[in-house]
Amino acid sequence: MAKDFPARRYGMGDVLDLNALLGEVIRLAHEAGSLLVDRFKNYGEVEFKGEGDIVTEADKESERLITSALRSLCPDHAVLGEEFGGSGAEGAEYLWAIDPLDGTANYAGGLAIFSVSIALLHRGEPVLGVVHDPNRGWTFHAVKGEGAFLNGERISVNSHGKLSSTGLFGVSTDVISSVPLYMRFLGKCRSLGSAALHICHVAMGVFDGCVDIHAHLWDVAAAALILQEAGGRFTDLKGAPHFPLPPSSEAWRGGEMPFVATNGLVHEQVLELIDRYGSPPHRG
């Protein structure tokens, strides 16, 4: 259980004070981040979940901490986590989507680029999001309709109006290997190993955009809200918005959510590249 958590509990029918809730979630993200830093290079047994997908004991400890605290804070809300899934997530009125360690491959390999991601969705729409990078001491947050912030300072996307050879663009390693032609047009491509941090780098104006084909709801829900509140755009590979999640979406059940996230100004150019050279294959 998180230390002194929660300050209050929200039951069925209570009106959520998202700003008060935000403070609790930021505290929780910081505690999970501290746990991960403490366990860095001493993360326990590594398990293989699938092709190129691993999980450490630190992932599980972080998720248990976050899930326990959220269920204490909001006992009537559903919780969907990367490592343990969640019951009652599909179509839930309120759903917490959490990635206790986004960047597990980096973490297990000794590369200190990873994050904690916590989002609250209301009827399939993110309304609160926190992404915490414990190594840099960066905490991104957003509440729907109130802007995006990094360590309390408002952030916004950059104003680059077209893709250029000098602009920075985030790509997953799967995109690099499956559609190398993209690299000719997307500028200086960088792969951080964390979808949430890729999107947040767009939100803070560092990246012009990013593309990922193997992301899930827990990876993107918080960061997508932060990006949109920073003035950016977040869609699927055809340009359709991911949120609010339709009832039929596989994302409720942990299905993949391939995405394009940009400053909005270069979005159509990226979609045209995908249309021209084909969508990278994904597992569905």
Read off the tokens for 207: 């990246």
pLDDT tens column, 6-51 = 445 555 556 689 999 999 999 999 999 999 999 887 766 666 655 5
* pLDDT on residue 19: 92
Q: Is the pLDDT of residue 81 over 60?
A: yes
Read off the tokens for 13: 């029918």
* Cis amide linkage into residue 6, ω under 30° from 0: yes
Count of CA atoms in the C-beta half-sphere (13 A) of 57: 8
* pLDDT on residue 7: 45
Q: Tell me the pTM.
A: 0.90
Q: Is the pLDDT of residue 2 over 50?
A: no
Q: How many residues belong to the chain?
A: 284
| Domain architecture of the chain: domains with CATH | 18-155 (3.30.540.10), 168-277 (3.40.190.80)
What's the sign of the alpha-carbon dihedral 38, 41, 47, 52? positive
pLDDT tens column, 227-268 = 999 999 999 999 999 999 998 899 998 899 999 999 999 999
In this structure, are residues 237 and 260 in contact, taking their beta carbons and an 8 Å threshold? yes
Interatomic CA distance for residues 217 and 252, integer angstroms: 8
